[in-house]
Amino acid sequence: MVAALTPSYPVYCLRPALLRQQARLFLDSFPGRVLYAVKCNPHPRILQALHEGGIRHFDTASLTEIAQVREQFRDAHAYFMHPIKIRPHIKTAEHVYDITHFVVDHMDELEKVMEETDNEDLTIFVRLATPELGGAYDLSQKFGATPDEAVALLRRVAAEGYTAGLAFHVGSQMLNPWAYKKALEMAGEVLDSSGVEIQYLDIGGGFPAPYVGQPVPELAAFIDAIEEGRNRLKLRRDCVLMCEPGRALVANGCSLVVQVQLRKAERLYINDGIYGSLSEPALIKIQMPVRLIRSAESVGLEPESDSFKDFTIYGPTCDSFDKLPTPFRLPENVREGDWIEIGQMGAYTNALATPFNGFYPNTFVELEDSPPAIGGSD
């Protein structure tokens, strides 16, 4: 790709085969319904590869995501899983896109959904807040009902004649399988107190992806914990178990090739940064694997060094805050014009990119080779 394009701009390198592989792994392993969390990476080629891998259900958080999924795939099922929805979008989701699954975490939101919909055959999930269980992001600070609130909501949903579901999210990049057991234990207590039989139990996302210095348990360990927790609940036999993976499905399905614009001693200035594809490393300090791709000029000057060193990485904008918190370990003779391929860039990258300062990464190619491996560079 680099030889063909010699890009002076960032390039996302999609690996559809890896995306299809991850989709099949989840579908074969999870004992229920798998919804892809579109927010993680909504690029049409990402969605296409996951669809080819068998994904048919999608966790959507906005009318835009619903429209994209339903218009790209005729056989797709979208679920409006944002706990706080724009009022007119509820009506449009139901009337235009036939959405029948909604989530709420407050009585006023339930009233809003009831007022804006006409279909009595709806499924209403109640989003339960969980305690901080060790994820990179605690997703219950902003959303989620307390146990007492969840009990009241479930009872109201059932009393209004809707199909009831219960949902929670243990936090993003969750490395501890036991967190799902703990959350399921809480869910069981809420269900026992409410006396409501639910048709759907949505355990959310949080399944992790590996990064440098951050190995993750096998998916089987999470599935075992989830099944153990579910089996302790008093659920109806036909209750559908659901999950919403995002990062674990797509992180390794995309890498990013950036170019070195300038070197100042042990500082490298590249053409992407925290206002573009690399905002998440600045938020949760994850470290991606990297490898150097040398320019023809570099190759002509000297062989690639066998000695590696850490380089501080700055992005292209005028903001001094545009700096990665962790260094890239690269051959010590890296120079201007060389490229760096960054692995594990499929999750929360292009989805979070901004056009600040006029820099906006928006070039995608599909490759069949392997992305940079997670492990030591030297």
- pTM more than 0.75: yes
CATH T-level assignment (fold) for domain 16-250? TIM Barrel (3.20.20)
Spans of all domains in the chain: 2-12+252-366, 16-250
Four-CA torsion 146, 148, 152, 155, nearest 10 degrees: 100
In order along its 378 residues, the chain shows pLDDT tens digits of 999 999 999 999 999 999 999 999 999 999 999 999 999 999 999 999 999 999 999 999 999 999 999 999 999 999 999 999 999 999 999 999 999 999 999 999 999 999 999 988 999 999 999 987 776 666 667 899 999 999 999 999 999 999 999 999 999 999 999 999 999 999 999 999 999 999 999 999 999 999 999 999 999 999 999 999 999 999 999 999 999 999 999 999 999 999 999 999 999 999 999 999 999 998 887 999 999 999 877 776 777 888 999 999 999 999 999 999 999 999 999 999 999 999 999 999 999 999 999 999 999 999 999 899 886 445
Torsion of CA 12, 18, 22, 27, to 10 degrees: 120
* Closest to 218 measured CA to CA, from 24, 26, 376: 26
DSSP 308: E
CA 254 to the chain's CA centroid:
13
Q: Do residues 228 and 262 make contact, with C-beta atoms less than 8 angstroms apart?
A: no
Whether the CA torsion 167, 109, 92, 161 is positive or negative: it is positive
Q: How is residue 212 written in tokens?
A: 């440098």
* Contacting residues for 296 by C-beta, under 8 A, at least 6 apart: none
Q: Which CATH superfamily hosts domain 2-12+252-366?
A: Lyase, Ornithine Decarboxylase; Chain A, domain 1 (2.40.37.10)
E strands present in 129-284:
163-168, 200-202, 240-243, 254-264, 267-270
